[in-house]
Amino acid sequence: MLTNDMIFEETLSPSIARHSMNGLPILKIQSPKCEAAISLHGGHLIQFKPNGHQDVIWLSNKAIFSEEKAIRGGVPVCWPWFGPVSSPSHGFARISSWQVLDHEENEQAVTLRLKLSASKETRALWPHDFSAILTFTMGETLRIDLEMINTGENPWQWSGALHTYFNIAEATETWVTGAGASYIDSLKNDRPCETSEALIINQSIDRIYTAPDETIAIHDQGNQRIIHVRNQGHNSAVIWNPWKELSRSMGDMSDDGYETMVCVEATRYAKDLASGSLLMPGEKQSLSTEISVTSAE
């Protein structure tokens, strides 16, 4: 596990310690309920393991920790846009440096809040004023809330995703239920499609499910568990697995990396920047995901 290669820097609280990885700050959480790790580069959670369970979140064993790149795996925060509708692809939040706002802990959970505000760098990519707050609540379950506020004088539009990579024992023995019947197939020129079947992860998949159930379930048969994903503030759920060829072409993923991961994302999808969700000056909106694990019967 890459998290073992980190260098300890200082203790912040009984459950939180600051480490570094290639010079990038990482906060490691070790509590009675879970182990977790969050990179301040990207505001990117890279580990979540509730006690008594396998890792829930997948991190590439070839992930690159560098200021220029998004980390492969974990929960990239794609914001203020989703996909390649502007540059950089999936927005700048996942390659920006987030500040620690505060943290607290009790017997049930450790809560950590990070902040990103408009700067010279962000305005060069997106000419708007904003404040974004990421709240990680880590206990037996994991909750991530991304709250965004328009701190400027003009309205702006956003799209985005909490692009969670889930750790599974074996893709071909994994199926996903609750994603809904309708999806846009990004691998077929964005063709609208309908299905009535559970999705088995046995091929290259890149789909935007437009009417998901309240909870999506990942049946991780090899680990005899079900991972439940409850999203809020989304308008769709993206499901992605790069499969063989794309995995092999990615420098930060091992050739067989696709066999043990699937992304199920809380997504606010928009086909271009202008059709994103509107946020008026002074308004707030949020996007959240809540992840829990139960044993398969």
* Choice between 51 and 203, CB closer to ligand TA6: 203
* Residue with nearest beta carbon to ligand TA6: 240
In this structure, the strands spanning 142-150 and 225-232 are unpaired
Which is nearer to ligand TA6, 105 or 265 (by Cβ)? 265
Q: Measured from the CB atom, is 177 or 186 closer to ligand TA6?
A: 186
Q: Which of 105, 128, 219, 265 is catalytic?
A: 265
Give the shortest CB-242-to-ligand TA6 separation in angstroms. 7
Find the angle CA(162)-CA(206)-CA(219) to the nearest 5 degrees: 70
Check if the beta carbon of residue 27 is closer than 8 Å to that of residue 18.
Answer: yes
Residues that bind ligand TA6 (CB under 6 A): 70, 83, 89-90, 163, 186, 206, 238, 240, 263, 265
- Rounded to whole angstroms, how far apart are CA atoms 48 and 288? 16
| Residue with Cβ nearer ligand TA6 (150 or 167) | 167
Quote the least distance from Cβ 42 to ligand TA6, whole Å.
Answer: 11
E strand or H helix at 121: helix 120-125
Question: Known catalytic residue: 228?
Answer: no
Between β-strands 174-177 and 199-200, what pairing exists: parallel, antiparallel or unpaired? antiparallel
Say which of 19, 41, 44, 163 is annotated catalytic.
Answer: 163
**Catalytic-residue membership of 265:** yes
The H or E element spanning position 190 is none
Q: Give how far the C-alpha of residue 172 lies from the chain's centroid of Cα atoms, to the nearest Å.
A: 22
Q: What is the DSSP string of 200-245?
A: E--S-EEEEESS--SEEEEEEGGGTEEEEEEEES-SEEEEEE-HHH
Q: Of 83 and 178, which CB lies nearer to ligand TA6 in the complex structure? A: 83
Contact 160, 81 (CB under 8 A): yes
Q: Tokens 């019947």 correspond to what residue?
A: 181
Catalytic residues: 163, 265
